[in-house]
C-alpha cells in the first residue's frame, strides 16, 4: 500500500522537534535538576510536545554535547584551572 505522506507512524516527526538551542537549554536545565532519563522524557513531552525514546534522548544529548552525570567530561578550561590550582598548592 502506498504511503504518500511518508509517515511511518512511529515517534515524532522532525517538525515537532524544538530548535537546537531551545532543546539544549531544556536538557541542561533538566540535568541541573538531576532528572532521570524517564523524567527528562516526560518533561520534554510536557514542555515541548517532543515525544521520543531513551535512545533518541541519548543521541540528542551526545549531538548537542551534553555529557551525562555518569560520564562527565570537564572542559579544557576546567582542566587547565584544576592543574594550575594543583601547581599552586605544590609551590606553596
pLDDT digits (tens, 9 = 90+) for 13-40: 555 788 999 999 999 899 888 899 999 9
Structural domain spans, the chain: 16-91
37: number of Cβ within 10 Å? 14
pLDDT digits (tens, 9 = 90+) for 51-67: 999 999 999 998 998 87
**Shortest CA distance to 60 belongs to which of 3, 22, 9?**
22
Query: What are 42's three cell numbers?
Result: 516526560
pLDDT at 90: 79
Query: What are 22's three cell numbers?
Result: 531551545
Q: What phi and psi, each to the nearest 5 degrees, are found at residue 69? A: -70, -20
* pTM given for the model: 0.62
Helix (H) or strand (E) holding 66: none
Distances (CA, A) of 6 to 1, 9, 15, 24, 79: 12, 9, 13, 28, 47
First to last CA, the chain: 77
Amino acid at each position: 500500500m502506498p504511503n504518500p505522506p511518508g509517515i511511518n507512524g512511529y515517534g515524532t516527526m522532525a517538525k515537532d522537534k524544538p530548535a537546537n538551542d531551545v532543546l539544549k537549554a531544556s536538557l541542561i536545565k533538566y540535568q541541573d535538576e538531576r532528572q532521570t532519563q524517564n523524567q527528562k522524557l516526560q518533561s520534554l513531552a510536557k514542555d515541548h510536545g517532543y515525544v521520543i525514546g531513551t535512545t533518541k534522548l541519548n543521541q540528542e544529548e551526545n549531538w548537542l554535547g551534553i555529557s551525562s552525570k555518569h560520564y562527565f567530561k570537564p572542559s579544557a578550561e576546567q582542566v587547565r584551572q584544576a592543574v594550575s590550582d594543583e601547581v599552586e598548592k605544590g609551590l606553596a
